[in-house]
Chains A and B, each alone.
Chain A
Amino acid sequence: MRVTFPHMGDTWIGVKAMLEYLDVEVLMPPPCTKKTMVLGSEHAPEFACMPLKLNLGNYIEASELGANTIMMTGGCGPCRLGYYAQVQDTILQDLGYSYKMVVLEPPEKHITELFSKIRYITGNNSWWKVIKGIHFGYSKIKMVDELNKKACWARPREINRGDTDRALESAKQKIINVEYTKDLSAVHQEVLEIIDQVPVDKDRDVIKIGIVGEIFTLLEPFINFDIERRLGYMGAEVDRSLNLSEWINDHLFLSINKKMRSCKESRMASPPYLNHNVGGHGQETIGSTVLYARRNFDGVIQLLPFTCMPEIVAQTILPGVSNELSIPVLTLIMDEHSGEAGTVTRLEAFMDLLSRKKQKKEVLA
């Protein structure tokens, strides 16, 4: 059994660590490229959302490397993610790829369904070891998220352009290389030092932007044209409304860690603009925008894949929120035809708008 799984930003660091901890053979698909996208959109339904297409491309590329089992997550609606696996499976079968799909999702009838799926992947490992494996992978994800957060703070303030990203890369590599749980805390200290040593100008005036929207477009730099780094270089401190570790804590661990930022907070903030859950991250998008406005952020950018249903609901409502709380909002829709230059131009224009608005506010104050 050679297990593969779809890419979503830095998720692979944790998942790979977890599986290798349990002695499962892992075959990573190559990082998302133009080729992945072309392969995916060639065979996927035309109006399917971007993540489905990229996943499909990942599977095809991984199969060429020899993977034969796919591990992915599912759901139970109303977002399309819940039916990804079945549609992708039909397509892969028609194309002649022989894959076994293991979909980790809330069980339809009984919790044992989920357990037997985990058993299938993990083989003869004891449950205790499985739990330790999950903890090991999760710790890595948490560290990477922490690093990214620090990097977002440092990037607009760095003295030498590119220092932060170089530090971030070497720190991430250190996390990837950890093999035993006992080394985690030492490496944790080490990587924090690496990122803290980047020379920065603490007093520099930066623009604060919150990024909201659909989780895949938020986390995958290939699909969002590395928006965090770009905005950082333009002089903006970026805050991502959703991090993978928070999502896992909320949805897989049932908010076991109470100290972590939770989606409940943003959901509570979304009425009266959006009064009901609409699946996906629709309600979080509205709620996070409200929260960013309350925290005096300068602007918000919404990211979504083309045809994403929950985000379209949010997109319709956002102008109202923006008006009422006077926080500028830019919506960027990503699909296989999005151009880098066009996106960058829009980001630059948005940055101009924000800095003008900020100057005006300072003059008046």
Chain B
Amino acid sequence: MHETVGIPRALLFYEYYPFWKTFFDYLGIKTIISPNTNQKILEEGVKNCVDEACLPIKLATGHVMYLASRADYIFVPRIVSLAPREYICPKFMGFPDMVRQCVPSGTRLIDTNINLYRHRGEEYRCYQELGKYFVKNPFKIRTAYQKSVKKQEDYCSLLKKGLFPEQAMKAVDRHNVKNKGYNPGGPVIAVIGHSYNLFDRHISMDLIKVLQKKGVNVVTAENLPEETMRSETSILPKRLFWTLGQKMLGAAFHYMKQPEISGIIYVVSFACGPDSMVGEIIERYIKYENTPFLKLTLDEHTGEAGVITRIEAFLDMVYWKAG
């Protein structure tokens, strides 16, 4: 069998790619990844979505459209929940049905449900189901799953060492990758945002690089262990039921209390539902702490010059406050 599976470089790609890659590799399936976002992919996505859809969904649709003519299957899992009693976002839950409306008929979508709402152990069952698309032998799928879990753990520990997803994805296969872009003595800024916005260079205007070039050390939510973020959000009156929102909130709460962090940049996409609520809470709590804060809203019309100007103004404020 020489079937290929296309993995769109969008949505949870930056969180789970090493896992998926290892899983498919072990089952002997070739994977194709869509390239880094370019204007053409973005335009294709915008064309095939309703105007009201958010930027990450438009982007993901663009990547799926790119893969539609190039891969035998497209991997668009229906990610319902990644932690007990939590959800991701309604659009993640409906994404496979949304893209089915625009891909050419006959495109084969793999839309396995990934639903850990009841119990974290459900994950194994979800991947058994996924493996069955290609392999009959459950033991082989089991080994693939175990290998992937291992790989994912390595990847996460690299992230916690301060690497960003792109570096960590390379590093996870061969060791000894230096953390480039560290500037001793420079201010440390926490950039908080969903991985699919922040690490997509086209969408975020390469925000992290821009900051690093200005001598700023950047930390993100990815660099924190999950437990820290969960314990930080326990001060809320009600447990937040969006996993990604929890991550943003936990990271913001953690970083705003660290004296070495000089400022926080919060990156959101236009009309993001969960972020409209999470962002409001972050903004109000940060005001009490008096930490410099910048909220950058991104969409397909965002101009690079405007973003740069705002970052420069923000850095001026940070330096000015530091004296």
Interface residues of A (CB under 8 A from B): 44-49, 74, 76-80, 82-83, 85-87, 89-91, 94, 108, 273-280, 282, 306-310, 312-317, 319-320, 333
Contacts and interface: CB of A to CB of B under 8 A. Distances in A.
A309 B90 contact: yes
B253 to A, nearest CB: 14
A86 B284 CA distance: 12
Contacts of A48: 276-277, 280
A278 B94 contact: yes
A319 B101 contact: yes
Contact of A307 (B49, B52, B96): B52
B277 A45 contact: yes
A273 B97 contact: yes
Contact of A78 (B52, B88, B96): B88
12 contacts: A44-B280, A47-B270, A47-B271, A47-B273, A77-B86, A78-B90, A276-B93, A276-B113, A277-B93, A279-B87, A308-B273, A313-B90
Nearest to B269: A47
Contacts of B80: 276
Contact of B239 (A79, A108, A314): A108
Contact of B241 (A45, A78, A90): A78
Given A78-B242, A90-B280, A274 B94 contact: yes
B11 interface: no
A274 B240 CA distance: 26
Interface residues of B, number: 42
Question: Which of A45, A87, A280, A312 is most buried by chain B, counting CB atoms within 10 A of its CB?
Answer: A312
B131 interface: no
Given A48-B276, A312-B52, A83 B93 contact: no
Given A86-B236, A276-B113, A320-B101, A309 B241 contact: no
A78 B89 contact: yes
A274 B97 CA distance: 6
Given A78-B241, A276-B80, A278-B90, 9 more contacts: A48-B277, A48-B280, A275-B78, A276-B113, A282-B94, A307-B271, A308-B273, A312-B91, A316-B53
A81 B52 CA distance: 19
A320 B86 CA distance: 30
Contact of A276 (B49, B94, B241): B94
B185 interface: no
Nearest to B85: A76
B281 interface: yes
Nearest to A94: B284
Interface in B49-103: 49-50, 52-54, 78, 80, 85-91, 93-94, 96-98, 100-101
